[in-house]
Structure 1
Amino acid sequence: MDATLIFWRVLHFAATAQAVGVVFFVSLVLRGLERQFPLRQFSSLFWASMAVALASGAAWFIAVTSAIADAPWTTAIADGTAGTVLTNTQFGRVWIFRFAAGVLLAAVTLLWKAESTAALIVRNLLSIFFIGGLAFAGHAGSAPGTKGRLHLASDVLHLIAIGVWVGGLLPFALCLRAPPKDGVPQSIDSIREITRRFSNLGVAAVVTIAATGVVNTWNLVGSVELLTTTEYGRLLLIKIAIFLSMVIVAAINRFGLMPGLNEPQTIQAMRRNALIETAFGLIILSIVAALGTMPPALLDHSAMHH
């Protein structure tokens, strides 16, 4: 495995999920409660994530072209390999599309200040293109036929759900510690409403991640045996175990803490758990980044037996 490529993939996955997570959170969870929670902190998180996402996306592309050219990245750019990869490969075309979606998302966020329904819809659509487009650069993007299209659609939904849940955890944690804005105290009712909305959204995202994860695992691994007998399968099992741990922490928040959400210590406990979930999510994204550089278990197994 190429450590440099994995590093840029991890950074890009995490920053992309965080940037679109802020957009989804503001439009789907915070809507109507903006006076209670200062938008400035969400804006700072979005812009920092967006900057890292675009920069790491460029670095990922350069790392790929360097590997293809089997030469330093400066040579890969100078000898035209980068240009060829950008215009003549699916990976390059996907990167053009995603970069355009990312730049448009940044431009719309910067220039379209009104929190109108139209602005929110446009930002959400561009966010879906930005994170969902990652599927076309992975294993699912090269799978042929109807089965391949199903795998690709599943992977797109998987990524969007990750953006909604994992990307929404830090904004949610910020809501649980945000100072009052313009002298308007954050009532327990507002925090309970934010928690209820995010919890319901999280349940939908978790169900989507689990269902699409089953489809993706079947397409890339194919059998229980290959989960334990291949490097890809074993790494995927670790990812599944961490995902289940993340779900347990989320369940503690929903069923253990949420009903009694009227004390500062309960709010702090929920915030701490949200940060623990964020850490788990980062580990999962790191594993996803590594898996994307490895041959799927089915292909690996097939190659070993031919």
Structure 2
Amino acid sequence: MIHRRAGRIQAAVVLILAFVPALLLSFPQPAHAHAHLISTDPAQGAVLQTAPGRVLFTFDEAVRGVPGGVQVFGSKGELVAAKPEVKGAELDVVFPAPLGNGTTVITWRVVSTDGHPISGALTFSVGAPTTVVTPPSNGSSAIPEVSWPLTLARVVGYIGLLLATGLVAFAVMFLPAESYADRPRRRVTVSARAAAAVAAGAWLTALPITALYLLGGGAGLLLEGATWSSLPLTEYAVATTVAAGLALAVALLRHGPTSRRRRLAAVAAASIAATAPALVGHTRAASPELLVIGADALHLLAGSIWLGGITGLVLTLPTLSGRGAAAAEVLTRFSTTAAGVLVALVATGSLLVWRILGSWPTPAGSDYGRLVLAKIAIVLTALAIAAWNRWSLLPRLKQASNTTSRQGLSRRVVRATAVEGAVLAVALLLTGVLVDTSPDGDPAPVGAQAESNPGTHTTTLGDITVQASLTPLARGPSTLTLRLRSASGQPAEGVAPPVIRLTSDTTTLGAVPLTQVSAGFYTAQVMLPVPGTWRMQVSLRVTQFANPVAELKFVVNG
């Protein structure tokens, strides 16, 4: 029986090793993270002779609109009627009535394919720019950080989901059918039901928190029907599938022996619940979508079998150690299957990192990349513990000649397995955080040096010195200039053009389109609608993997 099972596992390993490289080489398209605005019509800062009837925003991938995501403000700060509509990668804002002369500010907010919101503002003028622009009363469109309740719900949801489904698989696949295993099976069943209840509650709780995150508002928005409609149907479908699949899987488990059909149904329900989260998140924004979603589903399934298996061993080995070779038999069954599970985890994890990040992460990369590296290190630690269990403790447990020796070795196996489970739980904590972390990331800002002129600041990004100026420092039209120099003082360039974002406490202008005047010299015209402290975020990709960011502060007068 064990030899046949080992043969099937080996065959599956060979298939994975044969086909995964072929799949990787067959789909070389780059992956995407958040959507990016690539153009607007009219352009940022444009001065038009006649008022446009519509404004078009074009992104580099499909986006979704959210209720109240677009607001248009006239030259006096009044709210202007508009009809926004999202079609694929375009946001079309239509004006029922002609715009008046002066400066118009449009704040926008949409949701990327990966489920994260992005926002910004567009400023243009009709006739001539307004000398003083009255700030919008509620025009802030800053992208909110993921709230800790949402991160907590994700972490608890993933740990509970993989633990519950893995325990169901352990009870069906690895525990003996004989009556002496009824007590260990009861422990596994009770634990699976408790984990399933916690997981279902966490996934359902995450729905309203996610809606507030997308809209960037407070809890009062939950009383509005439009808030609930802002969530895509896939979010509801995944949460419902997880909760229903878990409920069915644990309901089919019994403390005693069950029919083969019932066991298969429990495993099928658990598998559906475990793989459902692959339909949302960063995998939806990576290409090719079908391959990445499939890899994520297999990654989740393999993770659930591993986590549930080692937890099941901790729950059952102390009791089974007194039943002759029963403990060694269960451990052998799981260890044999675990070989194929670990191959699937490594193969699918490697594929997901490459397709989501577009390259292998480095310590100098984004927060997402650093979290991935931390998860890899933790999983490698768990692998080392599992190898010690498999190649050192298990052979000695099999060779134990008396009950006392078997019980002593079983206790050592249980302790090692418990440590392995704790390490995997940490990896799952990182998984929950990764779900709500942008692959683009924002590296920690580097220090900036203030010049004697308050309108000019200097910082260093990699080996390039960046000098940014904003003049005049007054509400209204202003000129932004950016000069890049090497260590020798010569004009310099990064791997890609610099990216500038302007934000105050009440207003976000988002990414500012730059015009290159010459090598290392960029300029832009901006409209600062409010006084106060404005933060200029300067991002420059200096190498293929390093993209340092600096934050410069300018005090704008009224």
TM-score by length of 2: 0.50
- Deviation string 1:210-266 (CA, Å, 9 cap, x unpaired) is 010111011112223656422211111110001000000000000010011022222
Whole-Å separation in 1 of the counterparts to 2:221 and 2:180: 50
Equivalent in the alignment of 1:22: 167
Is 2:438 aligned against 1:295?
yes
Letter of the structure 1 residue corresponding to residue 208 of structure 2: I
Whole-Å separation in 2 of the counterparts to 1:167 and 1:82: 36
How many residues align structurally? 296
Whole-Å separation in 2 of the counterparts to 1:286 and 1:29: 26
Is 2:198 aligned against 1:52?
yes
Whole-Å separation in 1 of the counterparts to 2:286 and 2:360: 21
Letter of the structure 2 residue corresponding to residue 97 of structure 1: T
Q: More strand by proportion, 1 or 2?
A: 2
- 1:233–1:297 CA contact under 8 A, matched in 2: no
Letter of the structure 2 residue corresponding to residue 172 of structure 1: L
Residue 81 of structure 1 deviates from its aligned partner by 4.1
Q: 1:108 to 1:259 in 2, by over 3 A?
A: closer
Equivalent in the alignment of 1:99: 243
Residue 101 of structure 1 deviates from its aligned partner by 2.2
Q: 1:294 to 1:170 in 2, by over 3 A?
A: same
Letter of the structure 2 residue corresponding to residue 52 of structure 1: V
Q: 1:208 to 1:71 in 2, by over 3 A?
A: same
Equivalent in the alignment of 1:79: 224
Equivalent in the alignment of 1:266: 409
Equivalent in the alignment of 1:229: 365
Equivalent in the alignment of 1:198: 334
Equivalent in the alignment of 2:419: 276
- 1:19–1:45 CA contact under 8 A, matched in 2: yes
Is 2:307 aligned against 1:163?
no
Letter of the structure 2 residue corresponding to residue 58 of structure 1: L
Residue 305 of structure 1 deviates from its aligned partner by 6.1
- 1:226–1:298 CA contact under 8 A, matched in 2: no
- 2:310–2:421 CA contact under 8 A, matched in 1: yes
Whole-Å separation in 2 of the counterparts to 1:53 and 1:298: 28
- 1:230–1:297 CA contact under 8 A, matched in 2: yes
Whole-Å separation in 2 of the counterparts to 1:83 and 1:35: 50
Q: 2:208 aligns with which of 62, 67, 75?
A: 62
- 1:136–1:142 CA contact under 8 A, matched in 2: no
- Where do residues 88-237 of structure 1 align in structure 2 (5 Å cutoff)? 88-109=232-253, 115-144=258-287, 147-178=288-319, 186-224=322-360, 226=362, 228-237=364-373
Q: Residue 318 of structure 2: SS of its match in structure 1?
A: coil
Q: More helix by proportion, 1 or 2?
A: 1
Q: 1:157 to 1:97 in 2, by over 3 A?
A: same
Is 2:431 aligned against 1:285?
no
Residue 34 of structure 1 deviates from its aligned partner by 4.8
Query: Greater shift after overlay, 34-43 or 21-30?
Result: 34-43
Q: 1:55 to 1:286 in 2, by over 3 A?
A: same
- 2:371–2:434 CA contact under 8 A, matched in 1: yes
Letter of the structure 1 residue corresponding to residue 214 of structure 2: I
Residue 102 of structure 1 deviates from its aligned partner by 2.8
Letter of the structure 2 residue corresponding to residue 254 of structure 1: R
Structure 2: gaps spanning 5 or more residues:
1-145, 444-494, 500-538, 542-558
> Of the two, which has the highest radius of gyration?
2
Q: 2:177 aligns with which of 17, 20, 32?
A: 32
- Deviation string 1:43-79 (CA, Å, 9 cap, x unpaired) is 2101111110111111111211121233344x34321
Equivalent in the alignment of 2:151: 6
Query: Greater shift after overlay, 159-168 or 34-43?
Result: 34-43
Residue 94 of structure 1 deviates from its aligned partner by 2.2
Letter of the structure 2 residue corresponding to residue 64 of structure 1: T
Residue 160 of structure 1 deviates from its aligned partner by 0.2
Whole-Å separation in 2 of the counterparts to 1:247 and 1:63: 35
Q: 1:108 to 1:225 in 2, by over 3 A?
A: closer
Residue 293 of structure 1 deviates from its aligned partner by 0.7
- Deviation string 1:98-150 (CA, Å, 9 cap, x unpaired) is 3332333344447x986111111111111111010011122113435xx1111
Q: 1:256 aligns with which of 392, 399, 408?
A: 392
Q: Residue 201 of structure 1: SS of its match in structure 2?
A: helix
Residue 292 of structure 1 deviates from its aligned partner by 0.9
Equivalent in the alignment of 2:552: none
- 1:17–1:166 CA contact under 8 A, matched in 2: yes
TM-score by length of 1: 0.88
Q: 1:160 to 1:225 in 2, by over 3 A?
A: closer
Whole-Å separation in 1 of the counterparts to 2:411 and 2:194: 25
Structure 1: gaps spanning 5 or more residues:
none
Letter of the structure 1 residue corresponding to residue 342 of structure 2: V
- 1:37–1:186 CA contact under 8 A, matched in 2: no
Residue 33 of structure 1 deviates from its aligned partner by 4.1
Is 2:376 aligned against 1:240?
yes
Whole-Å separation in 2 of the counterparts to 1:71 and 1:167: 38
